Chains A and B, each alone.
Chain A
């Protein structure tokens, strides 16, 4: 089932995938919006960093934004809840709200796109 789905999606994304395969600079673009230095914020930041380092390695571009410092970005990115992790690339855009305590969904998402096994 999973492989079938994967195939379908990868077929749909084939041109991009091909381009990305050619270009070594292709990266996941992740943005994490947090509101100040709260426990939740720290938890989210730590978890997403661990994820990037452990699994995505160099193919991950993570940006942590404190909306207290940059409130306009909150509006531009339609942030309502914090923390919010946005997977901006590859599409489609996904939002994960919460302190990333439960990241099974996130793994599934990344897994599908990466075709790699992630174990944290």
Chain B
């Protein structure tokens, strides 16, 4: 609780608080009602004063082990039992287990006659006895103002009320006093004069035929508190106040990425898809494939074994399953394995707050990993712009706090600039994918692009996608002179490019063949020359050998004849052979 109120010193140090247990109220008040002091809850008829007081008491008894006394001036114990039973509280059981004492104070005006001075000690004794009998820590007085109508002497009553509140404080009980809203003042009989510690104002307004209850902490002495008006709901399990601003921006973030189920869309998102726990907006005019892309996303998540909760506000679950079957998405087995759960409701079924509460409840019970809301715009139409934005903020806050990835589809009106109509929502979203129709060339084609994706590199290209029997295909991008090409223009451009590639390929092949041929010719020439050279060299060697042999023979003959002549042969032979070899080699 304290982490949600950005306060340097925890308020609990200064003022002890008594957690009411009512969803959201403790967040607004920073921990609960002032402990040991009276709190005034005022509001008009039917705004839930008694229920809030009763819930405070029941939750105290059940959750915080603080027994309580309910002093009812308007409703009998039986009526009260029945009323709070509708919120799932077993008041009678708690009374039996001595956790709660209900004292119905019945004052019949016609029985009364004043005959002198009196005080309200009877009330004090009853209350004191009830408190002491179970050791009560909490007290509810609903509605004290009945006394004003029943007791003739207002002066006595006022002084006694003052004494009562002082007495309650001395008793150290945390008290809730309900009072009817007055015309000019907070309460009809000015009870706020006595209860000065904490005043909570409830009100019930009808806007556009849809009634919403609001709660405001008018005053909380000695503590920080949310001062805004907060819508609240009376649901099947009690009151829930839905604070918009009580949640601080301190969500845990994940760096895990999850695939979209469309591989090429993942590629556009830095190759890995969205961040887990991020909020994704998918906008487009009708028929651009919002539901299909979200179903794809749902299927991909469910196939990974994650739980997916699909809120559909336009189509029934069966219709979605059937329609998705036609493009090859089989959602039914996933529904059977409880990996995918649908929740369909008409937007006009109830007000924004009720829708939000139902969604919170579904999310809390199913604990999904991925939540899809298709489309968020039909919900936002229920309230004013600021209410709608408030709702989305709360929803995203809630989902992010629970690390749930959320995908919202948004229907944009044709003609309006999409960025303008979604301006309110878009700033809350981490990723925004825009689906568009491209008209031209006698056809209508679907394109998508990533308008923003916080924290990741993403493609800036406009990509056409096709919806076929096997889901969604993001196809190659072709850019022509007038921008991106889609449909048949894209196909034509594709063919053209293919032809060009083919032509250049052929050209290259021919060139290659030519070069090859030239190289072969060159090599042939080289080998011819080499063989010429080799045969000539061979010839030369043969001639040289012949010359050598002849010289040798000549030499030997001369030596032999010299021997015969017995001349000085040695010198003559050497000089001659030398000159001969020189001649022979040259």
Interface residues of A (CB under 8 A from B): 33, 35-36, 40, 43-44, 67-68, 71-72, 74-75, 78-85, 92-103, 105-106
Please indicate which of the listed interface residues B116, B119, B124, B128 has the most CB atoms of chain A within 10 Å of its own CB: B116
Q: Chain A: which residue is nearest B152 at the CB level?
A: A97
- 9 nearest interchain CB pairs? A98-B116, A101-B116, A71-B129, A79-B122, A35-B121, A99-B116, A98-B115, A82-B121, A96-B115
15 contacts between A and B (CB under 8 A): A40-B118, A71-B125, A74-B125, A80-B123, A80-B126, A80-B147, A81-B120, A84-B122, A85-B115, A96-B114, A97-B114, A99-B116, A99-B117, A102-B114, A102-B116
Q: Chain B: which residue is nearest A77 at the CB level?
A: B122
Residues of B in contact (CB 8 Å), total 25
A40 contacts B117, C-beta separation under 8 Å: yes
Report A-chain residues with C-beta under 8 Å of the C-beta of B120.
80-82
Beyond A71-B129, A99-B117, is A93–B122 a contact (Cβ under 8 Å)? Answer: no
Interface residues of B (CB under 8 A from A): 103, 105-107, 111-126, 128-130, 147, 151
Q: How far is the CA of A33 from the CA of B118 in the complex (A)?
A: 11
- Cβ contact of A94, chosen from B113, B114, B116, B118, cutoff 8 A: B113
B125 contacts A35, C-beta separation under 8 Å: yes
Report A-chain residues with C-beta under 8 Å of the C-beta of B115.
85, 96-103, 105-106
Report A-chain residues with C-beta under 8 Å of the C-beta of B107.
78, 80
Q: Chain A: which residue is nearest B147 at the CB level?
A: A80
B122 contacts A67, C-beta separation under 8 Å: yes
Report A-chain residues with C-beta under 8 Å of the C-beta of B111.
92-95
Q: How far is the CA of A89 from the CA of B371 in the complex (A)?
A: 70
Min CB distance B149 to A, Å, is: 13
Report A-chain residues with C-beta under 8 Å of the C-beta of B126.
71, 74-75, 79-80
Min CB distance A105 to B, Å, is: 5
Q: How far is the CA of A90 from the CA of B437 in the complex (A)?
A: 89
Min CB distance A87 to B, Å, is: 10
Report A-chain residues with C-beta under 8 Å of the C-beta of B123.
80-81
Report B-chain residues with C-beta under 8 Å of the C-beta of A67.
121-122, 125
Min CB distance A70 to B, Å, is: 9
Extra A-B contacts (5), CB below 8 Å, given A35-B122, A85-B115: A67-B121, A74-B122, A81-B121, A96-B115, A99-B118
Q: How far is the CA of A99 from the CA of B153 in the complex (A)?
A: 14
